[in-house]
């Protein structure tokens, strides 16, 4: 699923997916209805070409993908879940800081070796 960015907010009954370019609108509709039991009002999709990138060996291209805009029936709405609640995020940051302190507790940089990492000594 693709969350729309800032000014391009979609109505509550339209959901955007990034899918394999070989999937048709009919495939997407059946997939959502049969697997996830979601009622689908309509599907419109388009293929987005992958970006070209210049590398020293030549040119490379990212894979193409399809963007599908799925419209839910009237009365159905979609709300994005809060995947990172503030309390849980704060707990994760505190635990990460604690782990970093514990890991670095016994490490001391040797001044006689200016650029060697501490784990190398």
Those residues whose C-beta lies under 8 Å from the C-beta of residue 31, and which sit 6 or more positions away, are: 23
Q: Please count the residues of the chain.
A: 121
**Domain span at 33:** 6-71
User: What pLDDT is stored for residue 26 in this prediction?
Assistant: 96
Q: Tell me the whole-structure pTM to 2 decimals.
A: 0.59
Q: For position 62, what pLDDT does the model report? A: 93
Tell me the mean pLDDT per 10 residues along the chain, length 121. Answer: 65 87 94 87 94 93 93 82 76 86 78 67 59
Same domain, 15 and 61: yes
Residue 41 is assigned to a structural domain of this protein: yes
Domain-embedded: residue 79: no
Task: Please identify which residue in the block is written with the tokens 């419209």.
Answer: 71
Q: Is residue 1 part of a domain?
A: no
- In this prediction, residue 6 carries a pLDDT of 59
| Within-domain flag for 78 | no
What is the full DSSP assignment across 47-114?
EEPPPEEEETTEEEEPPPEEEEEEEPPTT-------SS-HHHHHHHHHHHHHHHHHHHTT----TTSS
For residue 96, tell me if it sits in a domain.
yes
- 77 is a domain residue: no
């Amino acid at each position: 699923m693709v969350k729309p960015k800032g000014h391009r907010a979609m109505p509550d009954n339209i959901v955007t997916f990034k899918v394999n370019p070989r999937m048709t609108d009919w495939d997407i509709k059946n997939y959502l209805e049969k697997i996830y039991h979601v009622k689908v009002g309509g599907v419109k999709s388009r293929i987005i070409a992958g970006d070209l990138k210049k590398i020293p060996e030549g040119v490379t291209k990212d894979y193409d993908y399809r963007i599908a805009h799925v419209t839910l029936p009237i009365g159905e709405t979609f709300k994005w879940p809060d995947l990172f609640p503030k309390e849980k995020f704060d707990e994760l940051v505190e635990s990460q800081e604690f782990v970093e302190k514990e890991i670095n507790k016994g490490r001391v940089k040797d001044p006689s070796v200016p650029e060697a990492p501490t784990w190398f000594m």
